[in-house]
Amino acid sequence: MMLDYAYWITQVLLALGALGAVYRVYKGPSVLDRVISVDVILIIVGSIMLADMAYGRHQDYILFVVVTAVIGFLGAVAIARYVAVRTPDSEDTVRQAEAQARAITGESAPEEPEAPTATSSPGAADESTSWFAALARSGFVPKRNKDDDENPTGEDNPAPGTSSNPGGGEQK
């Protein structure tokens, strides 16, 4: 019969698709690849059940398909939320959080966060950057702009900022 051939061809195709998804789960470089591959495996299992229901003319597995459609996305959403926290510059955020915690408790920073800002400003006696050195020595930890994480020219910003800020402030 034609339907027998169609059923077995469909099952073979579904099995090949599941094998590709399993390969990506094994090989996937990131956890997000594995998450979407596991989702595909779940859908393929539901598809296998649907094909079996269509071939055998029964409705035994329809509840699995409906429940999979309702709650199948929750695992991907949960794992993706945890991945979004683990950014590549997480060390910067950890250091920032530690600095804020020290600022709150009034504890003196041990060695790292102040030393680079105090020594890396070459013209500490210069008029245009002396306010920055004084600010760095005062132990004040400002809220960092999020631009500073990935901007390599972040040290250049205070110099043009001082030329315009004390004079007129903001131009608005």
Partner 1 sequence: MSELTLDTVLDGIAAVFLVVGGLMSLAAGLGLVRFPDLHSRMHAATKPQVLGLLMLVLAASIMWRSWAWVAIALLAWGLMILTAPVSAHVVGRAGYRTKHMRTDLLTHDELASTVDRLSRQRGVRREVTDD
**Cβ of residue 161: shortest distance to partner 1, in angstroms?**
15
Beta-carbon contacts of 117 under 8 Å, excluding residues fewer than 6 positions away, are 136
With CA atoms as reference, report the closest residue to 162 among 125, 129, 124.
129
Beta carbons of 47 and 14 less than 8 angstroms apart: yes
Beta carbons of 73 and 64 less than 8 angstroms apart: no
**Cβ of residue 27: shortest distance to partner 1, in angstroms?**
8
Beta carbons of 102 and 109 less than 8 angstroms apart: yes
Closer residue to partner 1, CB minimum distance, 10 or 96: 10
Beta carbons of 53 and 80 less than 8 angstroms apart: no
Closer residue to partner 1, CB minimum distance, 67 or 118: 67
Contact characters 90-129, partner 1, x per CB under 8 A: ----------------------------------------
Beta carbons of 95 and 113 less than 8 angstroms apart: yes
**Cβ of residue 12: shortest distance to partner 1, in angstroms?**
7
Q: Token match 């004084």: residue?
A: 134
**Cβ of residue 95: shortest distance to partner 1, in angstroms?**
16
How many residues form the binding site for partner 1 (CB under 8 A)? 61
Segment lying near partner 1 (by CB under 8 A), choices 21-29, 103-111, 112-120, 127-135 = 21-29
- CA 152/CA 154 separation, integer angstroms: 6
**Position 150 contacts partner 1 (CB under 8 A):** yes
Beta carbons of 37 and 28 less than 8 angstroms apart: yes
Summarize as ranges the residues that interact with partner 1 (CB under 8 A).
2-3, 5-7, 9-14, 16-21, 23-24, 29-30, 32-33, 35-37, 39-40, 43-44, 46-47, 50-51, 53-55, 57, 59, 62, 65-66, 68-70, 72-73, 76-77, 80-81, 83-84, 86-88, 145-147, 149-150
